[in-house]
Structure 1
Amino acid sequence: MEQDQKAPSNTVAGAPCWVTLLSRDLSTAQRFYSDVLGWTYRDTSLGDGFCVALSHGSPVAGIGGLASSLQVAATWTPYFAVSDVDVAASRIRERGATVAVGPLAFHTGRAALATDPDGAAFGIWEGAVRSDWTVGKGSAPAWLELRTRDAAHATRFYDEVLGWSKDEGSALSPAYEDGDAVLRQDGRTVARIGGGAVPASADPGARPRWRVYFRVPDVAESVAAAIAAGGALVPPATEGAQERDATLRDPDGALFTVTRA
C-alpha cells in the first residue's frame, strides 16, 4: 500500500486508513475515474504501476496495476490501521479467515491483504498514514460498507481483529442501528456492516464485500459518465435508491458506489 506520507500519525488503531484499487489496466482505470469522478493523479515511490488519485489536489485513494500473471479480480479494498500487523494477521487466521498476501514491508510501514470468513477482502496497515485523509471528511470516501452473510458474526470478527471496542471511551464506537453495525470515529460514521449478501451468488455484487462510497455532486451525471466511459450501472437494491446513490462497475469489473449524501 502506498500512501506517499512519511510523517507519523495519530490515526486510531482499527480505523479505516486508506483505500486502494487494483486494476488490470492502470491507464484505462485512470481515464475512467477521471471522467466519472474528476480525479487527477500523482506518481508514487512504488513505480510506474502505482499512483495516488487526487480530488482538487487532495488524496482520495491509491490505484495500482495488477500483474498479468495474477488471477485476481479487480477490486476496491479498504485498509484498517493496526498497531502490530503480525498480531492482527495471527488473529485473522485464528478466526478462520485468510491472510492472502503479506505482511509485506514498505518504506513507511507494513501491510497485509486478507479475506474475512465470508470472503470479503480487506487490508491491514502498520505504520505511517496520511495526516490529510480521514473517511467522512474532505476528499476521502464518504464511508465504507460491508454487506455480508451475517452482520453480527462479521462485526465480532472485525472487532476481535481490529479492537474496535477494546477500550471504554475509545474514539471508535460500534453500535447497532436498524440491524446494521455502525462504526463511528469521533462522532462520524466511517463504516457500516449489514447482512443480506449471498456467498455463493453468481452475481459478484451480491457476494460479501466491502463497498467504498464516494461523494459526487450529482448521482445521475456520474452514472451517465460511467456508462459513456465503458462502465455499467449495477441495478439498485430498492426502488428509488438511485436518487441518492448508485453502484457502478468500472471497465475492469471493480465495483464502487457514488452518493450525494
Structure 2
Amino acid sequence: MNNKIGEMAWLDLTVDNATEVKDFYQKVVGWQAEDVAMGDHNDYVMKSPETREAVSGICHAKGENADMPAAWLPYFLVKDLHESIAHVTKLGGELVTEIKQAGNDKYVVVKDPAGAVCSLYQKG
C-alpha cells in the first residue's frame, strides 16, 4: 500500500474467534480470506472479491495481539510515532498498548479523549 502521512494505512479486527469471524465476513461482505502464518496459528488477510486486493486483516487475540481491543481498528500513518504519542497524552488521550514492532515498522494503539481507539503507525 502506498499511503501518505495522515491516511489510513490498514484496518484490522483482532478477536478471540478469528476463524469464525473470518467466515462471517466472507459470507456477509463477500471477502476472500488468505491465511497468514503467525507461529502456532493463522491470521487472515481479507481480500476484495472484485479486485483481489487486501482490504483488512482479521487476527486472533493471542501472542503479540493478546492486548488488542476487539473492535475494527484503523491504522493511521504518522511521520514520527514518538512525536504523535507525545501529542496523544498532552491532548487528553491515552496509550492502550506499548509500542509494537512489525518488521521495521512500529505502531501503538491509542484512545482519543472521547474514548475511540485507533492505531498510530510509522513505516520503518
**Both proteins in one fold, TM over 0.5:** yes
Are residues 1:99 and 2:86 paired? no
**CA 1:62–1:100 in 2, change beyond 3 Å: closer, same or farther?**
same
Are residues 1:62 and 2:54 paired? no
Larger radius of gyration: 1
Q: Deviations over 1:56-107 (max 9, x none)?
A: 3211101111139x58652101110011111111111111111111211111
Check whether the contact 1:13–1:82 (CA below 8 A) recurs between aligned residues: yes
**CA 1:71–1:88 in 2, change beyond 3 Å: closer, same or farther?**
closer
Q: Deviations over 1:187-244 (max 9, x none)?
A: xxxxxxxxxxxxxxxxxxxxxxxxxxxxxxxxxxxxxxxxxxxxxxxxxxxxxxxxxx
CA distance in 2, matches of 1:16, 1:98: 20
Check whether the contact 1:26–1:49 (CA below 8 A) recurs between aligned residues: no
Are residues 1:120 and 2:116 paired? yes
**CA 1:87–1:46 in 2, change beyond 3 Å: closer, same or farther?**
farther
Identity %: 23
TM-score by length of 1: 0.42
RMSD of Structure 2 on Structure 1 (CA): 2.2
1:19 is matched with which residue?
A: 11
**CA 1:59–1:108 in 2, change beyond 3 Å: closer, same or farther?**
farther
Identify the range of structure 1 (37-46 vs 106-115) with the bigger mean alpha-carbon deviation. Answer: 37-46
CA distance in 1, matches of 2:67, 2:100: 20
Q: Deviations over 1:119-165 (max 9, x none)?
A: 1010111116xxxxxxxxxxxxxxxxxxxxxxxxxxxxxxxxxxxxx
CA distance in 2, matches of 1:51, 1:25: 12
Gap regions ≥5 residues in structure 1: 129-261
Partner-residue secondary structure (3-state), 2:113:
coil
Identify the range of structure 1 (47-56 vs 99-108) with the bigger mean alpha-carbon deviation. Answer: 47-56
1:90 is matched with which residue?
A: 86
**CA 1:71–1:89 in 2, change beyond 3 Å: closer, same or farther?**
closer
Check whether the contact 2:96–2:111 (CA below 8 A) recurs between aligned residues: yes
CA distance in 1, matches of 2:67, 2:107: 20
Instruction: Give the count of matched residue pairs.
Output: 119
Aligned residue runs from structure 1 range 1-261, under 5 A: 9=2, 11-44=3-36, 46-47=38-39, 48-56=41-49, 57-67=52-62, 74-127=70-123
CA distance in 1, matches of 2:89, 2:21: 33
Shift of 1:118: 1.2
CA distance in 2, matches of 1:72, 1:108: 20
Gap regions ≥5 residues in structure 2: none
CA distance in 2, matches of 1:125, 1:72: 14
What is the identity, as a one-letter code, of the residue corresponding to 2:72? W
